[in-house]
Amino acid sequence: MIPIALTVAGSDSGGGAGIQADLKTFSALGVYGASVLTALTAQNTRTVAMVEPASSAMIAAQMAAVFDDLAVRAVKLGMLGGPETIATVADGLRGRRVPVVLDPVMVAKSGDRLLPAEALEALRRELLPRASLLTPNLPEAADLLGMQPAGGEAAMIEQGQALRALGAAAVLMKGGHAGGATCVDLLITAEGVSRLVAPRLATHNTHGTGCTLSAAIAAGLAQGLALEPAVRQAHGYLQGALAAADDLGVGSGAGHGPVHHFHAVWRGG
């Protein structure tokens, strides 16, 4: 039986992030993807023109429909919008014995804010304690903690431990916003800290990187991998998607195109 993963996130009409990126990632990694749509966005590689949240009743109905019929083995949470949506998703997960990867989507690559500041407390209270893994970038981690973004690995570890203290079982501190020739991500668990290091790739086509990484981790968990192997598999997959991103040539958004989710499947670009 094929493993099934569920993404609970917003739609990206440009196809590079959100539900679309998650389903592409699941498919590329051999996992069947189900979805719960939390919002519609009108966006492309240049901007987010409009966001329209789904109703709490529709979100709840989607979650019930999926869980009532499909043997979901992992859940990825992405763009959740506001406090009502967060509470609805938390209710839908209550009692479900399934790993949850929480990507705290706050700001789009275009700079448009996707999570209102007033929703931060709801995210901390309702979903951090439910997260098997939290995957913030450095600004997101800082927002969640009310601190300045970490300026080095020691600060990344300190902030990751602080986020674990808020309830997340494990935290992947993503170093993509830091400088330097290499990008260092830190997986912080009860057992310790693991480093994931990769060269910083010379591409600006990075739209959907956070969605893609968290979805790839959820795919690995759905396949039965333990957390660290799932994170390492996802990390390698994302590096391939970034390395091939310039081959796509999608959109005109000054280099904010999508990563190449099917880099290992499509041939000839």
The SS3 assignment for 247 reads helix
Active site residue 24: no
DSSP state of 55: P
Tokens of 17: 């992030």
* Residue among 88, 135, 189, 209 flagged as catalytic: 209
227 burial level (CB within 10 Å; 0-12, 13-18, 19+)? buried
Please tell me the distance from the alpha carbon of residue 117 to that of residue 111, in angstroms, as a whole number. 15
Active site residue 7: no
Active site residue 208: yes
Q: Which residues pair with 39 in a beta bridge?
A: 10, 53
Q: Are 167 and 161 in contact (CB under 8 A)?
A: no
Q: What is the DSSP string of 74-141?
A: EEEE----SHHHHHHHHHHHTT--S-EEE----B-TTS-B-S-GGGHHHIIIIIGGG-SEE--BHHHH
* Residue among 24, 38, 175, 211 flagged as catalytic: 211
* Residue among 206, 212, 220, 253 flagged as catalytic: 206
* Residue among 210, 220, 253, 257 flagged as catalytic: 210
* Residue among 92, 135, 174, 220 flagged as catalytic: 174
Active site residue 174: yes
Active site residue 209: yes
Active site residue 88: no
Please tell me the distance from the alpha carbon of residue 127 to that of residue 173, in angstroms, as a whole number. 17
Tokens of 113: 């804010």
* Residue among 16, 33, 175, 208 flagged as catalytic: 208
Which active-site residues does the annotation give? 174, 206, 208-211
